Amino acid sequence: MKKATAILFSCFFCIIDLFGQSAQPYSFPSFSGYHTLLCDFHIHTVFSDGLVWPTIRVDEALREGLDAIAITDHLEYTPHDRDIPAVDFNRSYEIAAEYGTKKGLIVIHGSEITREMPPGHLNALFLSNSNMLKKEDPVEAIREARKQGAWIFWNHPMWTAQKPDGMAELTSLHKQLLKENLIDGIEVVNDNNFSDESFEIALKNNLAILANSDIHGLVDWSFPAPQTGHRPITLVFAREKSSDAIREALENHRTVIWHAHILVGTQEFLEPLIKASLVVESAVYQPKTSVVSITLVNKSSQDLYVENTGKFTLHNTGPFFIIKAGEKYVLEIKTISKRDQFELALKIVNAYIAPGKNIQVSYLISPEK
């Protein structure tokens, strides 16, 4: 008996050791034939002003269940160059990619073009040679990235070091870059900052919506609960788990972002993600009543904050309730008479399709009688 208990205890500690204390692999369900991939497209290492070696970025990402990361060290800011000479701007990517490939993580070759505002900072992804982007004129650097076939996005337009009021705003140079099709996406979330104004710019200018960590220190120390609890993540809906498929998905703006406790995206992709995440498992009339018990399951890593917006009132809660990540919730709804079918209409209070506008989802319920 004693021995069995000891084995049980040691196994328990093995598991804790294996996964690390706060490591928690996140996941969101796939839908419509797309694979939902968890990605972070803005990451620094000691090769610019980050504080860790590139391989640590791979291990951090795997602990959190990420599918892909982009290493995007600064091209114009290398404060560790006394110890790590800034001679080859491809190196941090190469080191991370060699290690990541062995471990099943997709590592994307990026660089951060780091300039005064305007244009501020832009990340170029899927590069072939970062060194070629070392140009005096920022627009020339952006053009060179494009020549290499890069996918380019505007970083942290809400960063108060470059925009003291924190209000993301297109300058005439950004408008010019948009006109020349040199910007494909925008960070609505960078580090701990969320920007409704960036979201608005994305929607108005047809840009892909991104949430990235811009991590410099360790991920575990930088995004503690309850404020955030996980790094900002861009969910990418890709046809397969590959770098090319991620690129194709980004080109077609198939993203939803996950920051702190909220999900943000266009109706086109947020709706199927919510429908795949929040699933009706069963619906059955309680005996001799017209009250239906509906079992809902949350298959995502985010708690969903839900408001009933349908015509029937609820029996076991008021109009607002929370369905915890990975858990079930039984909702009792009063349909007045026994029905073959009715609509369950829900507003997801922590999921947005436009600034200040929540997504609404509905389910056709056919309860067992």
* Residue number with the smallest Cβ distance to Zn ion: 121
Please list the residues that pair with 216 across neighbouring strands. none
Residue 311: strand, helix, or coil: coil
Of 149-168, binders to Zn ion (CB under 5 A) are 155
Q: Give 266's contacts (C-beta < 8 A, 6+ positions apart).
A: 203, 209, 253, 353
Q: At closest approach, how far in Å is the CB of 155 from Zn ion?
A: 5
Tokens for 49? 């002003």
151 and 185 in contact (C-beta within 8 Å)? yes
126 and 108 in contact (C-beta within 8 Å)? yes
Cβ distance to Zn ion smaller for residue 108 or 296: 108
Phi and psi based region of residue 356 (left: phi greater than 0; alpha: psi -120 to 50; beta: remaining): left
Interface region with Zn ion, contact rule CB under 5 A, candidates 113-121, 143-151, 270-278, 357-365:
113-121
Cβ distance to Zn ion smaller for residue 189 or 238: 189
Interface region with Zn ion, contact rule CB under 5 A, candidates 6-14, 118-126, 137-145, 229-237:
118-126
Give the residue among 52, 148, 62, 152 at the shortest CA–CA distance from 92: 52
Cβ distance to Zn ion smaller for residue 75 or 351: 75
Residue with tokens 């040199």: 182
- One-letter-per-residue 3-state SS of 72-110: CCECCCCCCCCCCCCCCCCHHHHHHHHHHHHHCCEEEEE
**Contact between 214 and Zn ion per CB under 5 A:** yes
Interface region with Zn ion, contact rule CB under 5 A, candidates 108-116, 221-229, 293-301, 350-358:
108-116
Cβ distance to Zn ion smaller for residue 167 or 336: 167
- Specify the pairing of strand 262-265 against strand 255-259: antiparallel
Give the residue among 104, 105, 128, 125 at the shortest CA–CA distance from 113: 125
Residue with tokens 């699933």: 279
Interface region with Zn ion, contact rule CB under 5 A, candidates 130-138, 213-221, 249-257, 295-303:
213-221
**Contact between 187 and Zn ion per CB under 5 A:** no
Cβ distance to Zn ion smaller for residue 169 or 303: 169
Of 121-140, binders to Zn ion (CB under 5 A) are 121
Cβ distance to Zn ion smaller for residue 121 or 253: 121
Of 285-344, binders to Zn ion (CB under 5 A) are none
112 and 75 in contact (C-beta within 8 Å)? yes
* Number of other residues whose CB lies within 10 A of the CB of residue 332: 14
Cβ distance to Zn ion smaller for residue 142 or 263: 142
Residue with tokens 């005996």: 287
Tokens for 352? 């947005």
**Contact between 197 and Zn ion per CB under 5 A:** no
Q: At closest approach, how far in Å is the CB of 116 from Zn ion?
A: 12
Interface region with Zn ion, contact rule CB under 5 A, candidates 92-100, 148-156, 250-258, 324-332:
148-156
Cβ distance to Zn ion smaller for residue 36 or 155: 155
Interface region with Zn ion, contact rule CB under 5 A, candidates 95-103, 160-168, 210-218, 225-233:
210-218
Q: What residues line the site for Zn ion (CB under 5 A)? A: 112, 121, 155, 214
